[in-house]
Structure 1
């Protein structure tokens, strides 16, 4: 037999909590000394204790835990619930990490901690691309929209045996109160695979460009703000479809190197 302290240590709960479980009828000790009141537990009770703690950690109330244990929740059922909860927590952690990175990027932006960028005025070539596009009205969803969009373009090219002949390009064209965003790949003279659209971008005589270099894309919004602010500082006007040309990505084994290109007039 195990003392209440030993059992609490093995299960990973407090002695006070074991007494609480006893009062609720969720986990009664195997024996209670009639003279001292000392509680003792058997190793056979560890399985029930583990299920109880697991269900509680899943967010079930103790009342719900009691019903589940009374109904004989099997090991497989508890494991399935734990795996589901694990997936939910993993998703939440990733979402929280993204939000934290966005907040930190916003702090750097407001605090003017963004490194000085170098801007170049240049012409932009015409492009013929295989692409998929989406109309975005919620401007906070760019990240969640563009990643899967590029993945779908890549999958369509691979399925057709077509290989990009240059870096990927994101296009952003204003459309009243929304934005038409396109994930595109240059494929040269190859036919555009089924399911993708052929997008032609006209050459631009004047554009202001800067290069974004970072391990992630959290600061790219600040880089765009700096670029457009520089356009205005020079007495110019941003116009037309702007481009992001992905010269290097983490998928190449390195960080991000993105050429930001804003047509001007």
Structure 2
């Protein structure tokens, strides 16, 4: 009996130690897509730190140069959660089963648009007039920065962007694409409406030199996703923190700084239009 009691106590101690060690490990949180300019990354760090504080657990923000790098880390399990773009969410769900956690609601709705922009002094007023001209995409996997304009061109002109535009560059971020148009580095670009609107209201140096010549239909806003093998209790706790962040003065101040009203639970169906575009592009544009 004494030996059994000793063994039970030892097992209990080891289990407690394992749980403590596990909870002390930083929760790695990827930031691959933002609904505001790159300069506001500090607010995303504050969001993640806020979650960590409420969770009582260390957190680590992991930001990569492109969506591919973040996708790889999610797939390998080196990230458990991440802010991702709508396009990568759809691809990653199909490939390795990422799940929606929450999504921001901004300007009163959990949706956004692609804006096709040109310099305000140019004669361009329609996408057709950009044929043969220079154009800026952001990331190859970006929904509004690549997938949407590729779809718009394919559906309307039956051409891939490489045969429609005279020259294409990739700027990595939407704010850099806006700047490229404003400085006449390129003739046009496709950018995230949320980032464009934020910049127009906060620092219109570059947006004021551009004009919107086309707007896409709406798409589900870039969400926060988790791996499907994440601990359900942890997932529920983090989701609850996000959903109640706007009710807390500290949380509300962080969100207000980047024009997020609050976080909501999104529907997977909100991303069906992205799936339909990607399916059409795979079948029709080579």
TM-score by length of 2: 0.22
Structure with the larger helix share: 2
Structure with the greater alpha carbon radius of gyration: 1
Structure with the larger strand share: 1
TM-score by length of 1: 0.23
